[in-house]
Amino acid sequence: VFVPGGGIDEDAATGSAHAALTPMWAQKLGRDAFAAHQASARGADFACRLEGDRALLGGDCVTVVEGLFRLP
């Protein structure tokens, strides 16, 4: 969660950034699958894989809130 007003100035794990970087790193490393680490304060590890024009990301997660939204 990114909440600058609440003291959280950076996402601990930014999947959108890793999805955008996966094609570049796959080409530079010469392989379609690799591990990545986000060096944020909490840190985050990703399993990145390029399949055609799609970047597939995996990793561990924990549910911290659950609920329903009701829209009019």
Give the pLDDT mean for 56-67.
Answer: 91
What is the distance between the alpha carbons of residues 44 and 54, in angstroms, rounded to a whole number?
21
Higher pLDDT, 27 or 11: 27
pLDDT per position as a tens digit, 18-59: 999 999 999 999 999 999 999 887 789 999 999 999 999 999
CA 8, CA 16: separation in Å to the nearest integer? 18
Say whether 48 sits in a helix, a strand or coil.
strand
Residue 62: CB atoms within 10 A of its CB come to 4
Q: In the chain, what are the domain boundaries?
A: 13-58
d(CA 8, CA 40): 11
Residue that has been written with the tokens 């680490």 in this structure: 37
Q: What is the pLDDT of residue 2?
A: 66
